[in-house]
Structure 1
């Protein structure tokens, strides 16, 4: 891009608009990206692990996340971390450091993870909408109203309603047109997270007794030894899901001004952000377990044991509003990827490439308020939403799916690629001490991913059996 000389002060060395981000804005981006629906299952995760292993596991994930995010920060610029060529996305950084094969592999993992997130968000929204209905039903029952037997336990209608809303939102063409939706989603994530924490503290204060045990949920009539093992593994996936943000770190780092170097700013921002989120996660997980003990719910805000009901309803509405936006934030890059690929493969196809301008109601004849209609976009995005909704209806188990998503994304995106990129960029000698330590870290996290995925799949199978038997 050519820039007039008088405008040179407003651009960076790569010709793009001058970056203005600092430590505080970067930390805010990271914290906003991390704190979300993952907090809803932390109390359940701590309940499976117990009072010792639960907090220690969260600290271990925090340490791994901090280490690998710092390694990834070194790879924003290829060659030299201060003067090297910039990367504008996670995939760009992988390709620059590791080559085309890893670039394509990273793309496949990312796109699958984005699709999985869409499924997880659809399930969470349906479950939390159902929770609003159940809260009012239970409240009326306790007040002498309708019988408790009338309280619905089927989330499918609410999942489908969420899918219908996404059918409409998904037809917005450009990610940039969704800035308002992203802002609302970020505000809502903080709303329900802090309300959830407040309700946990109130629940704990109302009893004045710390529930739970050192070893977590006890083996007994309702939990077999094998189920205990699977749930411990699944809890690892739930915690991993809550911490994952490396896949957007390069995009965040690309907003940082220099000097000082982007690397130095990101080091401070990573340290501060991981510390803040870990403290918040500790409070959410531990207060939830202290309040509910072994009966900690898989989704905190679906518990009818939290009061006042009206505040619980506000939190659940905030979850739905957040996930309406989060679904699009995660899906739009996948939409754009497929549409760009289709345009490249079929450059002469009118079905793929033709844009039809439709004047929006209320705009003047000569106005510029148009909707660009494209048949391929309509069909592809509709199919995407329908498939994600159908899967959500068939497997409506929030913390099982969250555990699986956390497991699938943790090792490749949070650990493997950052470790391999750092080794390549720093040209670490094979079998050197740092090389061995990083490889051991990667292998250990791979094992965590495998057992977490196995536990989550086992949880899904158990829940499917239970739902068929009920």
Structure 2
């Protein structure tokens, strides 16, 4: 088989429903949120020249690196459905560990920032209605209580209204902030030097913290590959995503700039860290609606970023429970059909292993893998990936794994697949179990029109409970797809054994246009919460409540919106939005000349900016803590 050079514009047709416009909306909604409310204060701290200039620089850099990230979605036969999958594929295990650390840090700090913001909004509402119950710590406890209840929701798939509520309310309060800014912008306040009345040291550290706040507003890169994985092909996902990034990020920048400039112009040096708190002359009902919208958005956004953390922790507990159940089932001779002795889907023979032999599986990026990331595509041609013989789920039962294994040459395999009607179809051909750059894992498989075997890394469970599990609405969508492809009904899919559930998932993979937020550290071999396989209620109650209570306590101890927002941006913007996308793109395409030099200069400059922002955020935290009174 002749080597093939894989490019970003190659693709395999799929059944997904995402378009450039759905991706654009996802990008815009991921960008516009609580961070927008802190931008007028950041511009005020930086001044009329440095503020808009820094917003523009961050926009240009974030847009460029986002496009670079979109071009490493499909490399060497693998579509990276998750951010950390791309990092592990291209930069190896060590890079994946660091990416996961930054992703987890980002999600935890986001939940903390949203707790503080939600409490601030609730306190402002209480003050507007003249309630005596209006202390910051009291509102933080109330917000934490709401999240204690919402955190017991099994997963976001079953409560779609949470995301819908968050989107609607975020657009509402951002629009109110923009309209109020435009109305009062004729005050023509502000100065070139920015907010005054501070000591030189505090001014310098405030400027550094403000740069972190700008980074926070542009920190949407960790979800871009997840958004790209929702796109329908053809055309190539990279081509569609480039258009979505150009539109979504540009519109978000225009929104950022408008809110920031009008807010600082209207309020001048008195601009608060949460801009809506400064429009005291606005109608009271408008402010109440805006603050209620902020509180509602923070409640829903908290869940969007907390549920992946819950999923990660619970996935490792699930793995322990499933292995224990498998041991009991093996001792009783009740191992289900289609499951090996270690609980992995597929017969041992179909994977070329002796029966009962344990498979070396990597539950998270923190475990070793047999080989590191792949090399360049642009610099040297990469060999096309051959169709593996360990097929788990051919469509419509076209042929069995044993029949596939009898095919000796790659041409015979490709011919057999073509006869089965896989080439050019819009559904996943099946699933493969293989050892590769992403470790030993199951991945969906389909073929491009050119005959390239295309794998998608979206998690498919291969370590399942022997008794199966009750399917949730998410699985019923798999059943719907299965009914379209093979004629099987939803009831049959719900009653199917674990191996058939995984096959249905492989077939329906990505048929929705919504994306998932991910930590990069979950055990992806077990069914995640989105599939409806959940821990017992008491275990979920303990894990999730402990997380919410801890973050609520921290929010009570450090209720400083601008400091936490600046800390999130300074710690996570450079690695997740600049460094990893640049390194992956460089490894794949091996640029030379001005492109390479520009990549190095941009990374070095943004690293210095973010390091300075870390220093400024930490100093601002210490400075505000020095005068903070608990339970005041």
TM-score, scaled relative to structure 1: 0.84
Q: How far apart, in 2, do the equivalents of 1:134 and 1:26 lie?
A: 39
User: Does structure 2 conserve the Cα–Cα contact (< 8 Å) formed by 1:237 and 1:407?
Assistant: yes
Q: How far apart, in 2, do the equivalents of 1:158 and 1:356 lie?
A: 39
Quote how far apart the aligned CAs of 1:398 are: 0.6
Give the direction of change, closer, same or farther, for the CA distance of 1:99–1:113 in structure 2 (3 Å limit): same
> What does residue range 76-91 of structure 1 map to in structure 2 within 5 Å?
76-79=73-76, 84-91=77-84
User: Does structure 1 conserve the Cα–Cα contact (< 8 Å) formed by 2:318 and 2:535?
Assistant: no
CA shift digits 1:113-166 (9 cap, x unpaired): 1111111100000011101122233xxxxxxxxxxxx97773111111111111
Is residue 319 of structure 1 aligned with residue 300 of structure 2? no
User: Does structure 2 conserve the Cα–Cα contact (< 8 Å) formed by 1:123 and 1:398?
Assistant: yes
User: Does structure 2 conserve the Cα–Cα contact (< 8 Å) formed by 1:356 and 1:373?
Assistant: no
Identify the match of residue 39 of structure 1 among 33, 36, 39: 36
Which residue in the other structure is 2:606 paired with?
445
CA shift digits 1:34-89 (9 cap, x unpaired): 1111111111011011111111110001001101100000011013xxxx421111
Which residue in the other structure is 2:415 paired with?
none
Give the direction of change, closer, same or farther, for the CA distance of 1:407–1:29 in structure 2 (3 Å limit): same
Give the direction of change, closer, same or farther, for the CA distance of 1:230–1:98 in structure 2 (3 Å limit): same
Q: How far apart, in 2, do the equivalents of 1:456 and 1:78 lie?
A: 38
Identify the match of residue 562 of structure 2 among 360, 385, 399: 399
Q: How far apart, in 2, do the equivalents of 1:97 and 1:194 lie?
A: 40
Q: How far apart, in 2, do the equivalents of 1:229 and 1:69 lie?
A: 30
Which residue in the other structure is 1:113 paired with?
106
Give the direction of change, closer, same or farther, for the CA distance of 1:447–1:346 in structure 2 (3 Å limit): farther
User: Does structure 1 conserve the Cα–Cα contact (< 8 Å) formed by 2:314 and 2:535?
Assistant: no
Which residue in the other structure is 2:188 paired with?
210
Which residue in the other structure is 1:280 paired with?
255
Which residue in the other structure is 1:135 paired with?
128
Aligned-residue Cα RMSD (Å) equals: 2.5
Q: How far apart, in 2, do the equivalents of 1:244 and 1:195 lie?
A: 23
TM-score, scaled relative to structure 2: 0.63
SS at match of 2:187: coil
Identify the match of residue 195 of structure 1 among 166, 170, 176: 176
Identify the match of residue 417 of structure 1 among 568, 573, 580: 580
Give the direction of change, closer, same or farther, for the CA distance of 1:101–1:323 in structure 2 (3 Å limit): same
Quote how far apart the aligned CAs of 1:265 are: 1.2
> What does residue range 57-68 of structure 1 map to in structure 2 within 5 Å?
57-68=54-65
Is residue 250 of structure 1 aligned with residue 228 of structure 2? no
Q: How far apart, in 1, do the equivalents of 2:32 and 2:140 lie?
A: 23
Give the direction of change, closer, same or farther, for the CA distance of 1:26–1:348 in structure 2 (3 Å limit): closer
Structure 1 residue runs of 4 or more that deviate by more than 6 Å after TM superposition: 150-153, 353-357, 369-372
Is residue 457 of structure 1 aligned with residue 438 of structure 2? no
Is residue 235 of structure 1 aligned with residue 210 of structure 2? yes
Which residue in the other structure is 1:385 paired with?
548
Higher helix proportion, which one?
1
Identify the match of residue 225 of structure 1 among 187, 200, 207: 200
Moved more, 103-112 or 226-235: 103-112
Q: How far apart, in 2, do the equivalents of 1:258 and 1:276 lie?
A: 25
SS at match of 2:81: coil
User: Does structure 2 conserve the Cα–Cα contact (< 8 Å) formed by 1:239 and 1:406?
Assistant: yes
SS at match of 1:467: coil
Q: How far apart, in 1, do the equivalents of 2:43 and 2:18 lie?
A: 36
What residue ranges of structure 1 are gaps of 5+ in the alignment?
1-11, 138-149, 358-368
User: Does structure 1 conserve the Cα–Cα contact (< 8 Å) formed by 2:45 and 2:206?
Assistant: yes
Give the direction of change, closer, same or farther, for the CA distance of 1:346–1:461 in structure 2 (3 Å limit): same
Give the direction of change, closer, same or farther, for the CA distance of 1:370–1:428 in structure 2 (3 Å limit): closer
Which residue in the other structure is 1:9 paired with?
none
SS at match of 2:232: coil
Quote how far apart the aligned CAs of 1:183 are: 0.8
Which residue in the other structure is 2:506 paired with?
none
Quote how far apart the aligned CAs of 1:98 are: 1.0
SS at match of 1:51: coil
Quote how far apart the aligned CAs of 1:371 are: 9.5
Give the direction of change, closer, same or farther, for the CA distance of 1:348–1:256 in structure 2 (3 Å limit): closer
Give the direction of change, closer, same or farther, for the CA distance of 1:152–1:374 in structure 2 (3 Å limit): closer
Q: How far apart, in 2, do the equivalents of 1:224 and 1:93 lie?
A: 45
Length, aligned pairs only:
421
CA shift digits 1:378-398 (9 cap, x unpaired): 211111101110000000011
Q: How far apart, in 1, do the equivalents of 2:152 and 2:37 lie?
A: 29
